[in-house]
Amino acid sequence: MLDKKMEAKQVAGVKKILSEVPAASEYSPVTESIARATELGEDGIASALKNYSSMPQSTNVFANPVLHKTGVNCGDTQITLNIRSFGIRGVVTESEIIANQLSPAFVIFAGLFGRKPVQSDEIDEEAILSELIDKKFYRFTNLRQEGLTGNHRLINQVAEFVKAFPDAGPESVIQHFSTLRKLSHPNQKGIKGTRKPGALLFELITTHMENVALGTLSVYMRHQLRNSNALHPQVLAMRANDLIEEHKESGKTAFQTCYSLLLGREASSVESNILERMGIIQTHHGSAGSNVVARYLATLYAGAVSDFFVASQMALDGDRHFGAIHDMTSFINQIEPLDDAAREAAIRERMTIALPTFGHPEIAAAGRTDEIQQDPRPAIYFNPFLDAVNKGEINLTDKQKKRLAIIQRIYQIAFIEGMVRPGRENEPPLRLTPNTDFGGWAVQEGLDIYETDRTFLTYIFRGFGWIMDAREQFQMKIIRPVIPPDPDIIPSPSDDMTVPDEVVSLHNMMAGSNIFE
């Protein structure tokens, strides 16, 4: 009886937390500017501004300002890097995540509820959210759903799908089973602003973690098929089920189990820490296309929660988004067989078009001046991996060493040496800084994550960022989050050198001789 009372108390606590909605932003720059122009008698300005009166007021979820400046040497030239960094709801900063090794649940909680989780003798909100996420992931092994051949366990249906389509990526598996989910539950409530916030958030988390399980299981099963393509679907399902149950019994979180599934084997603690740090930083970073789609689907009141995640996933893998990781894979595969001279010529030629994982469409990550903007994420991702390699905690094959050495040389050509166009020899070279995809590609190459699966870690974590966007979208119609954030959530510049030190450390290593020999 005592256990039932305790369980009921925990359920009530979860419902109370999930029903909490953070305050909406009160910052409305267009409205305030119209009022000020009218007050000053500037009717022309006020009239022009009214054309933008439908623009959203601001976002209270995310800020991505330049917080640090630091100098690095590019040969004989010193370049000042304006380092962007991010904060979620003005509550958690990038440097805090790194320095304090915050858990995924801690960061996700801050984004969902606009405050840090409370930890006391009576309640541990971080643990509550973590347990909810784990529960929704681990329930998958017993979950059943109507499929093409009847009502069966989903894990067996995934195995049959992977066996039939062994080259299908995790996104295809999610899309397939999302369609079946919709057909199996025709009267879904979907995403509507009229729904109770707690009930909707609960369904969003449930659906997302089911999709995460679908995707990571399919990746693991394809690992098994690559080792032995004769495996029966029942064997694939059994092996995947065994790995999940072993991780669950040993106290692994859902995210830690996902790392093993992505690797096709049990991830070491070092590998898990590397992937977790990279994933957490991608929970919500910027106004990328997938975030726009998430807001738009929430505005349209999507008929099914599944549609919300599928549409956002499709944008995530677009060529101008995280599809750049796939572009880099294709480019490396193209230039790897070449000799050094031909390879360098190909890199410089590609710079004249669009060099994958370098530059950025929305920030000044390219330029000829001695000052340029830098995304810190490549360093945040890559440094722990390089440290593990140097300590002998991760061993690289000769092929991996060669491919990572090519990445290092691309960095040197694109940023340190820069590109000089014909006829502009008297001008400083054009330099490109790496973006988040550079670090994402390199780390996953070094951990031997299969080429087609290298955007899925982002999906696992970014899904929670989409949920944050949807919840804010009901409070105020933003749709396009490429707008000034509420000043209250912008992190203040500080003397904390955590992020700049990460960037400088990686640059100094990449500027040296082959670090993968």
pLDDT at 395: 96
Residue 12 CA to residue 466 CA, distance in Å, equals 26
Cα-trace Rg, the chain: 24
Here the tokens at position 414 are: 């694109």
What does pLDDT average to in each consecutive run of 10 residues of the chain (517 residues)? 56 80 80 88 87 68 83 94 88 90 96 92 90 96 85 94 95 94 86 92 96 98 95 97 97 98 97 97 77 88 93 82 86 97 96 89 79 94 97 97 97 94 82 93 96 93 94 79 71 83 96 90
Which domain covers residue 170, as residue numbers? 104-317
Judgement on whether residues 160 and 231 belong to the same structural domain of the protein = yes
Residue 48 lies in a domain: no
Residue 301 CA to residue 191 CA, distance in Å, equals 5
Is beta strand 66-74 parallel, antiparallel or unpaired with respect to 77-84? Answer: antiparallel
Residue 278 lies in a domain: yes
Name the residue type at position 478.
I
229-233's contacts with Cβ under 8 Å and 24+ in sequence apart are: 229/166, 231/163, 232/163, 233/156, 233/159, 233/160, 233/162, 233/163
Judgement on whether residues 423 and 304 belong to the same structural domain of the protein = no
Contact in structure between 75 and 412 (CB atoms under 8 Å): no
Residue 179 CA to residue 372 CA, distance in Å, equals 45
Quote the number of domains for the chain: 2
Judgement on whether residues 234 and 185 belong to the same structural domain of the protein = yes
Judgement on whether residues 308 and 360 belong to the same structural domain of the protein = no
- 125-138 vs 197-227: helix axis angle to the nearest 10? 50
Give the global pTM: 0.91
Judgement on whether residues 352 and 378 belong to the same structural domain of the protein = yes
CA-closest candidate to residue 85, choices 324, 285, 364: 285
Contact in structure between 503 and 83 (CB atoms under 8 Å): yes
- 170-184 vs 197-227: helix axis angle to the nearest 10? 130
CA-closest candidate to residue 36, choices 46, 44, 22: 46
Residue 162 lies in a domain: yes
Judgement on whether residues 506 and 434 belong to the same structural domain of the protein = yes
What does DSSP assign to residue 286? S
Judgement on whether residues 449 and 332 belong to the same structural domain of the protein = yes
Name the residue type at position 459.
Y
Q: Which of 266, 293, 317 is the last residue of a domain?
A: 317
Judgement on whether residues 255 and 331 belong to the same structural domain of the protein = no
Judgement on whether residues 272 and 331 belong to the same structural domain of the protein = no
Judgement on whether residues 378 and 428 belong to the same structural domain of the protein = yes
What does DSSP assign to residue 489? G
Beta bridge partners of 367: 431
pLDDT at 2: 45
Q: Which of 301, 317, 333 is the last residue of a domain?
A: 317
Here the tokens at position 73 are: 């040497």
Here the tokens at position 379 are: 């360093």
Residue 302 lies in a domain: yes
Name the residue type at position 31.
T
Contact in structure between 61 and 468 (CB atoms under 8 Å): yes
Burial of 432 (0-12, 13-18, 19+ CB in 10 A): buried
Judgement on whether residues 129 and 229 belong to the same structural domain of the protein = yes
Residue 17 lies in a domain: no
Residue 44 lies in a domain: no
- Please state, in angstroms and as integers, the Cα–Cα distance from residue 270 to each residue in 251, 400, 447, following that order: 17, 18, 11
Residue 289 lies in a domain: yes
Q: Check which CATH number belongs to the domain holding 188 and give it.
A: 1.10.580.10
Is beta strand 77-84 parallel, antiparallel or unpaired with respect to 371-374? Answer: parallel
Residue 34 CA to residue 42 CA, distance in Å, equals 9
Residue 462 lies in a domain: no
pLDDT at 57: 63
Q: Which of 284, 317, 350 is the last residue of a domain?
A: 317
pLDDT at 1: 43
Judgement on whether residues 112 and 63 belong to the same structural domain of the protein = no
